Structure 1
Amino acid sequence: MRNVYGNAPQARSRILLVDDEPEILVALTDLLEDEFDILSSTDPLDALNILRDSPDVAVIVSDQRMPNLNGDAFLAQAREISDARGILLTGYADLAAVVAALNQGRIQFYAHKPWESDALRAMVREVAEHYRLERALLTERVLLHGLMETLPLGLVFSDAQGRVIRHNLTPDRQVSEEEGVLETSLYPETERAAIEAMRARTQELGQDEHLVETVDDDVTHWHEFIRAALPWPRRPGGELEPINKRWQVGIERDVTERLAMELRLRQDDKMRALGTLSGGIAHDFNNLLTAILGSLELLSDLSPPSDPMATKLLENAAESARRGTVLTRRLLEFGRPKPTTLQPVSVIALINGMRDLLAQSLNRRTDTEGETGRCTLDLAGVSSDLKLPPVMSDPGQLEMALLNLCINARDAMPQGGSIAIAAHYAEATQGGSGHVVVTVADHGCGMPPEVVARIFEPFFTTKGIGSGTGLGLSTIYGFLRRCNGDIQVQSMPGEGTRMALWLPVCQEAECEQAESEADSAETLSPQRILVADDEDGVRLVTEQFLRQDKHEVVGVSDGTDVIALIEAGEKFDLVALDLLMPGMSGRECGEILGKIAPDLPILYISGYADPDNLPEGAFVLGKPFTPQMLRRAVANALRRKS
């Protein structure tokens, strides 16, 4: 039979009683149940099954003479499936079996029948305590070895004299014991002085930390070392030994990737802060450039100069201002990428329009030792004679992507070289649309396959800390995915790199829609338009552009003036709002207009259109703008609202 007496509290040990006489089991249970949780069986074979189901049995008290299996044989089998300690109950005739069991370590004690109650209880108590201590020691050993073998840390335990007790500095993290070996001998010679100095500081202060730089095959690694003194457990009434007499634990870990990530995150924070600053600067510059470009164009329209030199000077001023708009656009893209606005784009015209910008960017390269080799630009593959269909893309972001790829190619050729840009048409496959493929190729250092596989991951960069954020290619990848394009890379070490941008060809319906929008802008009937901008020069240019198209224009300098006019009953077909104005901003004004005049179309105009600061579904015209851009934006805003 099998008896289980209740559920044991954690502090009580569990005892298994085995005897073929039920009366003996009852007597033993009465003797021990006050201190222990009891399991019992009259069959040693059944008792083996109990042990399999109860791995926490601490002590087995077994009779020697039993049918099926004698006690010593039963305890021998029990040791194969359980860590429980054995006590054998015997008669005097069984002494030979008891001695054999003792010699083989199968039992710890034996008692004669009939037993002396206090002596047997004390015997069981002692064996249970021995089991508990042995299990605790085994648990500590398993935990220690498990940690040392699985944690990605180097651990070294040493005594007060610096001799190794345990360590896991083996390649496979197996725990080793090397008695008498000095800890410093486990480390490369270049690190031993630092380890010894850390030992001394730990003996003085109780703990220490140190960062060590190592160079292996021209690759820099950073290792963090942490040390602490380990006091022995305090005995009752005893004092802790001095720090300089204590054992020490040394912890080592490779923190190269963590430090690199921290540095890149700090670099990214700097870039974000600089981006915010650049956005504010770009906003002010765009207001100035809008006023300058607009005034020059209006001046040219009002009184075309008869003097060729005056014409040339006007064109020179306008061209310089347009170059300023390109630079400011780059500044804005650096600060915060704008939402992708897809439209038909001529790739050949766009690339040839970037010729001067690309040439200047490729020649402006220096390092700590002075100027490096110059790179030349090969645009033979994008000749203006090449006829390619327009693609559906964002021209500003496409320019930025090409500029970044050219700069990456330049950086891959520190001794200089040629960067070739080419384009061709790729036929559609399996019923899809065709693509215009733009390639940027260099003859630089190239990349191995494992690097190519990661170059589009955010923050991944092959450049040194401070020389790259790891965001350029991931940004390009995101832009291409948003315009349904793709990018492919071919690169091998020492053989250069070829980046191919796959841009979807503009479908006929999309091109027709773009053309119809342009036509509708050209044929737009006169409207009554309210313009709000706090910059007098910008407002003047905007008003004059609109008046050239026969619109009736009212100009104000603040959002509160807009609300006052609408509430006074003034009727307008469109409101053009500058986003950033002192007092009531364009966004605040637009939100109020959405409530008091929900059918009134709104065109937002901004020199720095932060996507997070735009109302949902807003139509935005970026500064500076041409009369054609303003005309198209007005037509689209009116059409979208209707």
Structure 2
Amino acid sequence: MTETVSPASARRSRILLVDDEAEILVALTDLLEDEFDILASTDPEEALELLRKAPDVAVIVSDQRMPGMTGDQFLHQARDISDANGILLTGYADLAAVVSALNQGRIRFYAHKPWESDGLRAMVREVAGHCRLERALRTERALLHGLMETLPVGLVFTDAQGRTIRHNVGGGRVVSDEEDVYEADLYPRLEPSEVEMMRARTREAGHDEHLSVYSQNGTQRWHEFTRSALPWPRRPNGDVVPVDERWQVSVDRDVTERMAMEAQLRQDDKMRALGTLAGGIAHDFNNLLAAILGSLELLADMAPPQDEMAMRLLENASESARRGTVLTRRLLEFGRPKSASLQPVALGPLIHGMHDLLVQSLSRRTAEDGRPIGRCTLNMAAVPSDRSLPLVYSDPGQLEMALLNLCINARDAMPDGGCVTIETQVVPATTDGPAHVVVTVADEGCGMSQETMARIFEPFFTTKGIGSGTGLGLSTIYGFLRRCNGDVRVQSAAGEGTRMSLWLPECQKQEVLEQGRTAAVARALKPRRILVVDDEDSVRLVTEQFLRHDGHEVTCASDGSVALQLLADGARFDLVVLDLMMPGMSGRECGEALERIAPDLPILYVSGYADPGSLPEGAFVLGKPFTPQTLRNAVAGALPSNVHAA
């Protein structure tokens, strides 16, 4: 066995020479080695082994008459090993074997001995080029086949009459060369006229995009068809055929998830705009409620206790205003979400305080024609209404929103109506974690499969129809509970209803003591000089009267410039109660100016928004509306400890 390799072999074809006469091999090598890399052998069996080790051989030049194995027999076995093209060297007596080998496709050409040098060299060159083209074609076909098998889209090639040439529709399996299978046959859910319209538009414009919707396994699926005319086939002279005679390629994408995401984003934009509007309205409404509630509190102190009817009317008005406060807070938290403000929370009063809102939310069910359907009821018998449950560490506003969201989800899971049950349970501390109070919302609805349960906390995942839900509710609840060092746990099975449990950590004794200490300090606070700055006359009046009732000396200012002028004129104060949202100079700007004039003067900011925005770290903030006690606590917290009574 001999081998001749050129330094530039990467660009040259490799050929195998087989002849039992060594002199012939030397002559062939001398003839071809300047253009090809040469492998040579005098033994057909050895030559077959060479082929196994050299799969890049492009041409086999073999003698016909060899002891032990003729040339055509050798080439027949070589075809099982290699795709190299064969050239048979033979004499006239071997012509019958040559013709048989040609007919069976085992050889590409044959040459007579003795050969003509230029003719044989040209023959080998042509066969090597043919082999390269064959291999390139097979590679392209394999790449196309592999691409079509792995693409997550449907791909269909058709001729000018709509017959399929190749496609992967149906389980990703690539199918080609089917007789009389038309493209419309591949899409039984589409009308044949719809497919033909897409083809016609492509013939006219060279390109087409079409969105179609149909039902698949009981689910509505959206498909996007993108189609183009191919510059193929060509005329015999190489010219491209007219567009109406061209082949076409169609790409079918399932865009159901994309459509759902786009709908969710549009819904999110609408919710954001609605939230901005709701936040603005709620802020103004909070100012009204602050004045109403404050005035009612002051009237209650002035009304004669023996006048029971007057006291009942005042309490009735105050309770209605407090309910308005709860609704306004929810509007604010919807419009301007805030980070969790954790504090000790009494679950029983909080949950029972939501009773009317939850009942209204569960009963709001109508059919498309406006008829009430599937009325849902609420069962809260297992929730104590007093403060007997341990306090939990949470954000009361966000906890209310979480419970409301879970109740609405429970309602939607029962289209024919049913009962939503809220339960509470105390779980003692273990070696694995602290004690918890568990709030469970249970329904009698359709339940969830294991696959759905695995995804319910993913953002934007929803089982509701497009436009019926954003898929953000449970993911928001999950994030909120994590910030509370709590957890959300789910029990459900298809057809058996769902139980969603919020695990809330109990307050540590130190946290409860701190809250009690703040209230005690507020009760022991001695009279101070306080400046109240608010542009709303009614709110300013109520704040002033609350503070005067506690014995403080109060000065009022209607805007920030008046407040600054008072300090510039030499007035001295122990505390400034400053509204954040004022026309002209905002509360934030006024506060910064006050800090420059009197750096040691404490400021208590008052805000009608759920989130007061960017204030200096450690700033004291009181939300509107407020009661005398919440104002008293806030004042005590904002004042330095050395101004408290002993």
Q: TM-score range by the shorter chain?
A: 0.7 to 0.9
Number of the residue aligned with 1:317: 317
Query: Do 1:603 and 1:637's aligned partners in 2 also have CA atoms closer than 8 Å?
Result: yes
TM-aligned CA deviation for residue 566 of structure 1:
6.4
CA distance in 1, matches of 2:283, 2:482: 28
TM-aligned CA deviation for residue 285 of structure 1:
1.5
Number of the residue aligned with 2:188: 188
TM-aligned CA deviation for residue 340 of structure 1:
0.9
What is the number of residues matched between the two proteins?
Answer: 635
TM-aligned CA deviation for residue 421 of structure 1:
1.7
Residue type of the alignment partner of 1:349: P
User: Which stretch of the first structure deviates more once superposed, 531-540 or 482-491?
Assistant: 531-540
- Does 1:250 pair with 2:250? yes
Residue type of the alignment partner of 1:578: D
SS in 2 for 1:381: coil
Distance 1:159 1:42, change over 3 A: closer
Number of the residue aligned with 1:399: 400
CA distance in 1, matches of 2:640, 2:78: 89
Number of the residue aligned with 1:550: 551
Number of the residue aligned with 1:455: 456
For residues 31-430 of structure 1, the aligned pairs below 5 Å read 31-32=34-35, 38-41=36-39, 58-59=58-59, 83-87=83-87, 105=105, 107-110=107-110, 116-188=116-188, 191-216=191-216, 218-232=218-232, 239-302=239-302, 307-369=307-369, 370-384=371-385, 387-430=388-431
CA deviation profile, 1:456-476 (whole Å, cap 9, x unmatched): 222222222222222222222
TM-aligned CA deviation for residue 551 of structure 1:
3.7
Query: Do 2:235 and 2:241's aligned partners in 1 also have CA atoms closer than 8 Å?
Result: no
User: Which stretch of the first structure deviates more once superposed, 476-485 or 428-437?
Assistant: 428-437
For residues 482-561 of structure 1, the aligned pairs below 5 Å read 482-559=483-560
CA distance in 1, matches of 2:375, 2:89: 96
- Does 1:14 pair with 2:13? yes
SS in 1 for 2:228: strand
CA distance in 2, matches of 1:613, 1:386: 35
CA distance in 2, matches of 1:162, 1:248: 8
Query: Do 1:31 and 1:121's aligned partners in 2 also have CA atoms closer than 8 Å?
Result: no
SS in 1 for 2:525: coil
Number of the residue aligned with 1:442: 443
Number of the residue aligned with 2:583: 582
Number of the residue aligned with 1:35: none
Number of the residue aligned with 2:473: 472
Distance 1:216 1:88, change over 3 A: closer
Residue type of the alignment partner of 1:458: P
CA distance in 2, matches of 1:540, 1:314: 19
Query: Do 2:329 and 2:610's aligned partners in 1 also have CA atoms closer than 8 Å?
Result: no
TM-aligned CA deviation for residue 69 of structure 1:
11
TM-aligned CA deviation for residue 510 of structure 1:
1.5
TM-aligned CA deviation for residue 124 of structure 1:
3.6
Distance 1:385 1:301, change over 3 A: closer
SS in 1 for 2:175: coil
TM-aligned CA deviation for residue 50 of structure 1:
8.7
Distance 1:223 1:431, change over 3 A: closer
Distance 1:276 1:30, change over 3 A: same
CA distance in 1, matches of 2:597, 2:28: 93
Query: Do 1:601 and 1:637's aligned partners in 2 also have CA atoms closer than 8 Å?
Result: yes
TM-aligned CA deviation for residue 276 of structure 1:
1.8
Query: Do 1:412 and 1:444's aligned partners in 2 also have CA atoms closer than 8 Å?
Result: yes
CA distance in 2, matches of 1:170, 1:397: 49
Distance 1:284 1:6, change over 3 A: farther
CA distance in 2, matches of 1:447, 1:471: 18
TM-aligned CA deviation for residue 286 of structure 1:
1.4
CA distance in 2, matches of 1:437, 1:340: 19
TM-aligned CA deviation for residue 263 of structure 1:
1.2
CA distance in 2, matches of 1:82, 1:592: 89
TM-aligned CA deviation for residue 373 of structure 1:
3.3
RMSD: 3.9
SS in 1 for 2:221: strand
TM-aligned CA deviation for residue 381 of structure 1:
0.7
CA deviation profile, 1:541-593 (whole Å, cap 9, x unmatched): 33333333334444444456666666777655444443333344334455566
Distance 1:69 1:609, change over 3 A: farther
CA distance in 1, matches of 2:622, 2:402: 22
TM-aligned CA deviation for residue 450 of structure 1:
2.2
CA deviation profile, 1:74-130 (whole Å, cap 9, x unmatched): 877776665444556779999899778756655434556776454344324322332
Distance 1:423 1:236, change over 3 A: same
